[in-house]
Structure formats: structure tokens, C-alpha cells
Amino acid sequence: MRKLFATAALAALMICTVGVSQAREARQQRDSVAGVFDYYLLSLSWSPTFCLTHPENEQCSGKGYGFVLHGLWPQYAKGGWPESCPPLTQLTAEERAKGLTMFPTGKLLEHEWSKHGTCSGLGAMGYLESSDQALGKVKIPEVLEPSTTVHYFEAREIEQLFRQANPGIPDKGVAVLCSGPELSEVRVCLDKNLGFGACGKGVRTQCRSGDIRVPPIR
């Protein structure tokens, strides 16, 4: 009887947790308004690390990518972000062609436009042009260009490399993320005019201490 009661209680707790999560997500989407945000976060993904766990993905088919555009994300200074802002529209053929000059795959492009781009308030072409400008704004440090040689750096060293290559980045304007022992992403914070700025609450470096591995290109 006790076992049955415990099982029923666990099931009820799981249902309650799922319900709260769904309600939170629904509220976030309901409250998201296109153009209402504080700054952008430019997310650059280190493709060789992504390809370690997604070898069949089309961006991993011997294209030799280093950093690729993950997305340009509207953010709130106090933490969090708007997402999937109405009206949700599909990309036109012209917009898709523009997006594929920056994003490594069409699937990623569609996802980023739907979840994040719609909240820019710029329309699809405006969002894609801003993404292009943001990419041009951030210079990749020479030692982090695509390479067939594995490298090792501490996360703070990668932060410093990006600041040295981009003197306008403030102390809290860049964050490094890892997937286990490997470099995963570098995130650079930009104001709404695409100038370098400080990151908001919750955007911080997330890597283990000591050296992290920067895998070589495939």
C-alpha cells in the first residue's frame, strides 16, 4: 500500500511540474512582444564541438567550419528573453537565400527566425541584415580561426582573446560556454544599435576550471 501511495504521489508531482513548466512557457510566449527587449546576444558556435555529437548534420560534412552563427538573440537586461513573438511568419525565398549566407543550415535558420528573429521587431530581412552586421562587427581571434590542430585554453584566456581582437568589448561583454571539456560557444553582447555592451543577468561563462579543449576542424 505504501509503495502504491508513493507511486501515485510521484506521478502527481510529475504532472504538477509539467503543468507549471508549460504554464511558464505559455506565459513567456504570451508576454513576448516584438521589438520590446534591451540588448542582443550574438551566439557563435564552435562547429567542431557540435560535430562531435552530430556527425550526420549537414554542417559537419567536411566544410571546415570553425565558429558559425548560432543566432542573434534579443535579451532582457534583468534576465531571460522574448521568444516566438507574433505575428509568426514564414521566410520568403529571398529571405531564406539571405539567411543561408550566414547560418550553416536551413533548419537552424528557420528555428532562429521563428524563436528569436520574430522578436527583433525588424521583420525577417531586417533581422537577417542585423545578424550580418553583427557577424561583421565581431573579429575572430587569429588563434581561434579554423585549424586542423587541437588547442587548449582556459575560458578566461578565450574571453581575453576576444577582447584583444575587439577592443570595444567591456569586461562583462563576452561569455564562453563549454560542452564538457570542449569549447562550445562564445557569446558577445551588443546593444540595440549593434555596438558592444555589457551582458545582462544570467549571461556568464560556463566552463570547468583549467584548460578546455578546442577541437580541430573535421
E strand spans, 11-64: 39-46
Geometric angle at alpha carbon 138, from 137 and 142, rounded to 5°? 135
CB atoms within 10 A of CB 164: 11
Q: Which of 25, 56, 70, 95 is catalytic?
A: 70
54 is catalytic: no
Give residue for cell 553582447: 189
Helices (H) and strands (E) in the chain, counts: 6, 6
112 is catalytic: yes
Question: Nearest 5°: phi and psi at 143?
Answer: -75, -10
Least Cα distance to 72 among 47, 48, 108, 105 occurs for 108
Q: Which residues contact 1 (CB under 8 A, 6 or more apart)?
A: none
116 is catalytic: yes
DSSP 119-171: GSSSHHHHHHHHHHHHHHHSPPPGGGS--SS-EEEEHHHHHHHHHHHSTT--T
Q: Which of 56, 110, 116, 185 is catalytic?
A: 116
Q: Which of 54, 111, 112, 142 is catalytic?
A: 112
Least Cα distance to 45 among 179, 137, 208 occurs for 179
Active-site positions read: 70, 112, 116
